[in-house]
Amino acid sequence: MTEILKTDALIFGGGVAGLWLLNRLRNAGYQAWLFEQDRLGTGQSIASQGMIHGGIKYALGGKLTSATTAIADMPAHWKKCLAGEGDVDLRGCNLLSENYYMWPRNSIRSRLNAFLGSKALEAKVSAVDKSQYPDFFRDKIPGPLYKLQDIVLDVPSLLTTLSDAQPSSIFKIDWQQASLKPDANGGIACLELNSGQHIEAQQYIFCCGAGAEPLMKQFGLGITQMQRRPLRMVMVKHTFTDPLYVHCVSDRLSMTPEVTITSHRNSAGEPVWYLGGELAEEGANQTDEELIDTARSKLSAMFPWCDFQHAQWDTLAIDRAEQQQADGKRPDDISIASQNNLMVCWPTKLTLAPNLANQILRQMQDKQILGGQYAATLPPASLERPLIAPTPWEQL
């Protein structure tokens, strides 16, 4: 016999966007459940560098764009959450670095880019006195070096904190054993589980990253299109113990840093640098070997005091999934496309996940979906809980 369960919201996708939203909805009194088809964070979230940007990266030419303004207050927002004083409690999340640095290398143009960027965001960036250089750079570079307000988070601990806060609302879904039934108005009637349960929600929210595309096709949802921007990140396992969090600013006239570096450790405690920026954008068109050669020669030129002879290298091909833009470039802000009781969302950046959730909550309230009505409904008991995805550098 069919059992019908009613709830306020069903979220599909347990990356940072879905997990943050689940926390916000439940904290606001909504009965919300999240369904993940793989491991939590699979795709972009676990592959991200964990930087909570304050926007300087987008102001490198000295111009304040809408991307810069959309993001400028986000480090402060996340810091409040890390202190347990924000809209989501992140006290279990590890902070990898309280600062991110920007290093214009030795050319006049890259120094200029950094300087102009710093003027555009005066309160958010400061020149570092040589005596205060991080250990990795101390007595090694002539400067200048800038300190940004950006912070760097340990993404696995972020995903764990967000999911542990909701112990009985996150489920693994096997699409061979479940399906979404369309209604007559271009929305969704229910989630049907082969176990005999039908779950009806007031709002269905796809936070599926690249996985939104097949779902949209499946339902003939013409409300929006998705774009992928391919990257090929580089991982370097080495023996340098001083962590490094820096945008190396290009001497080309580019809005993207030449290399962005974050430092991580694998489960054996070995240090790994994770390299993005222009290197990863251009690397999308290179073979593994070509990209590793490029990365090795760039790092050797940047850091002549480091010996990479025994370093281990690998790459990770991964697409950014975002709402399609007319020019195919990076969107400036979050994206939400709505059709009846269905929303398809992309945060565009990990940094912007809080803004995405705020906006979804506002839209639900505007539709008079206020929560509380289904507080007593219990979720299906038979579904298992998904694990957290492994980091890309675990395999290195």
* Distance in angstroms (rounded) separating the CA atoms of residues 251 and 108: 8
Query: What six digits make up the tokens of 340?
Result: 């009846």
173 lies in the site for ligand FAD, by CB under 6 A: yes
* Distance in angstroms (rounded) separating the CA atoms of residues 38 and 322: 20
* Distance in angstroms (rounded) separating the CA atoms of residues 126 and 148: 7
Stretch that binds ligand FAD, among 205-213, 236-244, 283-291, 373-381 (CB under 6 A): 205-213
16 lies in the site for ligand FAD, by CB under 6 A: yes
12 lies in the site for ligand FAD, by CB under 6 A: yes
43: left (phi over 0), alpha (psi -120 to 50) or beta: left
Please name the residues in contact with 27: beta carbons below 8 A apart, sequence gap of 6 or more: 87, 88
Quick one: 106 or 285, whose CB is closer to ligand FAD? 285
* Distance in angstroms (rounded) separating the CA atoms of residues 132 and 3: 64
243 lies in the site for ligand FAD, by CB under 6 A: no
* Distance in angstroms (rounded) separating the CA atoms of residues 323 and 225: 6
Least Å distance, CB 129 to ligand FAD, is: 27
Least Å distance, CB 87 to ligand FAD, is: 17
* Distance in angstroms (rounded) separating the CA atoms of residues 131 and 111: 20
Q: Is 261 helix (H, G, I), strand (E, B) or coil?
A: strand
Name residue 1's amino acid: M
CB 19 within 8 A of CB 40: yes
53 lies in the site for ligand FAD, by CB under 6 A: yes
Q: Which of 75, 209, 271, 371 binds ligand FAD (CB under 6 A)?
A: 209
Q: Which of 104, 257, 271, 276 binds ligand FAD (CB under 6 A)?
A: 276
Q: Which of 350, 357, 360, 388 binds ligand FAD (CB under 6 A)?
A: 350
Assign 3-class secondary structure to 48-79.
CCCEECCCHHHHCCCCCCHHHHHHCCHHHHHH
Q: Which of 7, 50, 55, 162 binds ligand FAD (CB under 6 A)?
A: 50
45 lies in the site for ligand FAD, by CB under 6 A: yes
Q: Which of 9, 22, 25, 47 binds ligand FAD (CB under 6 A)?
A: 47
Q: Which of 75, 277, 347, 354 binds ligand FAD (CB under 6 A)?
A: 347
Other Cβ atoms closer than 10 A to 270:
14
Quick one: 108 or 257, whose CB is closer to ligand FAD? 257
Q: Which of 74, 51, 48, 69 is CA-nearest to residue 59?
A: 69
Burial class (CB in 10 A: 0-12, 13-18, 19+), 176: exposed
Q: Which of 27, 37, 157, 339 binds ligand FAD (CB under 6 A)?
A: 37
Least Å distance, CB 376 to ligand FAD, is: 26
Q: Which of 6, 27, 38, 296 binds ligand FAD (CB under 6 A)?
A: 38
360 lies in the site for ligand FAD, by CB under 6 A: no
Quick one: 209 or 243, whose CB is closer to ligand FAD? 209
CA dist 217 → 13, 43, 176, 178, 224 (Å): 17, 19, 17, 17, 10
Least Å distance, CB 36 to ligand FAD, is: 5
Q: Which of 8, 18, 104, 219 binds ligand FAD (CB under 6 A)?
A: 18
CB 175 within 8 A of CB 37: yes
349 lies in the site for ligand FAD, by CB under 6 A: yes
43 lies in the site for ligand FAD, by CB under 6 A: yes
Quick one: 221 or 318, whose CB is closer to ligand FAD? 318
215 lies in the site for ligand FAD, by CB under 6 A: yes
55 lies in the site for ligand FAD, by CB under 6 A: no
Given the rule CB under 6 A, which residues bind ligand FAD? Answer: 12-18, 35-38, 40-45, 47-51, 53, 173, 207-209, 211, 215, 231, 233, 276, 318, 320, 346-351
